[in-house]
Amino acid sequence: MRTKMEMMILQTQAEFCKALAEVDGGTFQVDRWDRKEGGGGISCVLQDSNIFEKAGVNVSVVFGQLSEEAAQQIRSRGKSLKRKDGKLPFCAMGVSSVIHPKNPHIPTIHFNYRYFEIEEADGSKLWWFGGGTDLTPTYLNKEDAVHFHKTLKDACDKHDRKLYPEFKKWCDNYFFIKHRGERRGVGGIFFDDLDSPTKEDVFDFVRSCAKAVVPCYIPIVKKHLNDSFTSEEKQWQQLRRGRYVEFNLVYDRGTKFGLATPGSRIESILMSLPLNARWEYMHEPPKGTKEAEMLQVLRNPKDWAQ
């Protein structure tokens, strides 16, 4: 499975970078890196380019011993882990991407698909898949939200019609900025600890999700490429980017796991942060504005794929 998954994440990275570069006209900076403790990765970043303010697509395969801190991030999800001589061999691999466009009418997308293996003291192996794709618009465009969710639903439905409703809800719950009482965006799908029915079945499902990234996002980018925008709209985008930073640094499990894993590559983990972000004291958009409409949806998630 390790090899199959590794091939899949590399292919996903290549396809998505190709599609983004075609739209943007720029060239990704490609960095290969090694992790002293085991493994490494490839980070592809397009920064301050034509269409994208910051586009990062990262693949990593890391293995070695799980730190106590990183193990806690897992235990908090209800897994109890038996160490051998204090050691806990693990292998984690995945593809992860965050795209922040310049134009506030093109939404930010994030996706991440990953596979995890842990060897316990008695030699038994735990494994699971996790992942998701979610959209964070600055302004609400209902057609975009519907297209995005329907594309994801189609990818899920091929495997089991129960998956999309469950993972859509999971996404709304996961990307919740608790202290603000709002979601990060209009959602998508999110799942973790997926280990049934079989390893092959879960992999096939994850591959379908990863294949859906280009068709669920690129048409939206192309549609809004030439939308005009005002400096006020740009400023609202910067405030929303501030919220994005809040979620990623305060709540996101992947970021926390990365920051807590010794030898992890900080630049690749924090490439998810936008080029620019803004915080204004007591900012609340006036009722009836497009900004207030966006907030309304972030506070009360909707069912877009019906």
- Interface ranges with a copy of itself (CB under 8 A): 29, 31, 43, 45, 47, 54, 56, 178-180, 238, 242, 245-246, 249-250, 259, 266-267, 270-271, 273-282
Distance from chain centroid for Cα 138: 17
Over its C-alpha atoms, the chain yields an Rg (Å, rounded) of 19
Smallest distance from a copy of itself to CB 97, Å = 13
Q: How far is the CB of 266 from a copy of itself (least distance, A)?
A: 5
Cα separation, 185 vs 243, whole angstroms: 10
Cβ closest to a copy of itself, residue 44 vs residue 145: 44
φ and ψ at residue 126, rounded to 5 degrees:
-95, 140
Establish whether 147 is a catalytic residue: no
**Taking the CB of residue 108, how many other CB atoms lie within 10 A of it?**
24
Q: Which is nearer to a copy of itself, 179 or 306 (CB)?
A: 179
Q: 197 preceded by cis ω (within 30°)?
A: yes
What backbone torsions phi and psi does residue 79 show, to the nearest 5 degrees?
A: -95, 130
Please, what is the minimum distance in Å from the beta carbon of residue 157 to a copy of itself?
37
Q: Which is nearer to a copy of itself, 29 or 289 (CB)?
A: 29
Alpha-carbon span 242 to 283, nearest angstrom: 12
Look-up: residue for tokens 């085991």?
38
Residue 188 DSSP symbol? E
Task: Give the nearer residue to a copy of itself in terms of CB position, either 7 or 292.
Answer: 292
User: How far apart are CB 70 and a copy of itself at their closest, in Å?
Assistant: 13
Reduced to 3 states (helix: H, G, I; strand: E, B; else coil), residue 175 is coil
Tokens for 31, please give them: 């960095």
CB of 49 to a copy of itself, least distance (A): 12
Strand, coil or helix: 264 = coil
Which of 85, 284 has the CB closer to a copy of itself?
284
Helix 213-224 × helix 2-24 angle, to 10°: 10
Specify whether the CB–CB gap between 45 and 28 falls below 8 A: yes
CB atoms within 10 A of CB 172: 21
Spatial distance between the Cα atoms of 103 and 270, rounded to a whole number of angstroms? 22
Nearer to a copy of itself, 219 or 262 (CB): 262
Active-site residue, from 100, 105, 110, 149:
110
Residues 53 and 244 sit within 8 Å (Cβ to Cβ): no
- The nearest distance, CB 178 to a copy of itself, in angstroms, is 8
Residues tagged active-site: 110
